[in-house]
Amino acid sequence: MQGFAILLGFNMLGIALQQVAHVPLPGNVIGLILFTLSLFAGLVKLEWVESSSQFLLRHMLAFFVPYIVGILAVWPLIQSVLVQVAVSLIVSTLAGLLISGWVTTAMLKKKEASSRG
């Protein structure tokens, strides 16, 4: 329960900060950033949230049910632009994979060069 409380606390903190500061990021993302910074700073120990986060990851599919129902509700509208949506999803996924691969390769080459010299 402690892990859930910590995760929920950071989520709620992010939502509150987004509402107060009008940051152009979703509150969930702000909470995730704050949580990650707290992990790196040692304010939150991984052991405190590990079992709760594993539980949430195992049941992640349940979090997508509302989105799937929403898509089904507007399916006739989506059908009219299905090809465009499919192409954009495929292209953006491939672009993300390619860019991630290039950046990783460049960083590994730089790390190897710095470790030699």
Shared domain check, 83 and 67: yes
Shared domain check, 54 and 99: no
Shared domain check, 80 and 53: no
Shared domain check, 79 and 27: no
Nearest partner of 52 among 9, 12, 99, 90, judged by Cα: 9
pLDDT digits (tens, 9 = 90+) for 13-40: 999 999 999 888 999 999 999 999 999 9
Shared domain check, 102 and 83: yes
Residue where a domain stops, chosen among 14, 33, 58: 58
State the residue range of the domain holding 9: 1-58
**pTM for the full model?**
0.59
- φ, ψ of residue 80 in degrees (nearest 5): -70, -20
Domain count, the chain: 2
Shared domain check, 54 and 68: no
Q: Give the pLDDT mean for 39-46.
A: 94
pLDDT digits (tens, 9 = 90+) for 3-12: 999 999 999 9
Report pLDDT for 1: 86
